[in-house]
Amino acid sequence: MIDTGRFFWSRVITLVVIALLTFEASSVLAFDPAGPPPQKTMEWTCRFLGSGRMSSASFQDATIWEAAEFLSTYIPPSYNVTYSVDDTLDDTTRHISLDLKDPTFFEVVAEIARQSETDVLISTGQVTFKKRSAAKATKSK
C-alpha cells in the first residue's frame, strides 16, 4: 500500500526545489542569443547602439564608472559593446541618475555623457567616455 501523505510531501518538496532552481537561474536565462556571437565591426557597433534596447535603465547617484559597468553587465560581453572610461577622467564629483523606460543603448550612452559632461568615442565594438575637450567645455550653453 502506498503512503499517500508521504508521496504528497515528496512531490511538494520536489516542485519547490525545481521552482527555486528555476528562479535562481532566471537571470541567467534572461538573455537568449539567436546564434553565435557577432563579428564586431563599426557597422555592427552603430547598429547595436541605435537599435538595441533595454527594458529600462534606472539608477541613482552613480559615478561614470558605475554607469559604464551597468551598460557592460546588461548583455554577455561577446554579444555586447564594451563600455569603458578613459584613464584621464578623474572627476568623481558628478553623479548620474537615470530612469528611462525602453531606451536604446545609444539613448542611455548619450544621457550618461550629458550628465557626466564627457565626450563619447565610438570605435569598433567599443564606447569610451572621455574627458570633454577644453574648447567644448568652455562653450556657453
> Residue 124: which of 48, 45, 39, 64 has the closest Cα?
45
pTM for the full predicted model: 0.69
* C-alpha–C-alpha distance, residues 5 and 43, integer Å: 62
| Fold (CATH) for 42-131 | Phage tail protein beta-alpha-beta fold (3.55.50)
Query: What are the residue boundaries of the structural domains of the chain, listed by start?
Result: 42-131
Residue 73 has which C-alpha cell? 553587465
Q: Which three cell numbers stand for residue 97?
A: 541618475
**pLDDT higher than 80, residue 64:** yes
Which pLDDT score, from 0 to 100, does residue 34 have?
A: 73
Pairing type for strands 82-85 and 126-131 reads parallel
User: Where does the pLDDT of residue 103 fall: very low under 50, low under 70, confident under 90, or very high at 90 and above?
Assistant: very high
What percent of the chain clears pLDDT 90, i.e. is strictly above it? 38
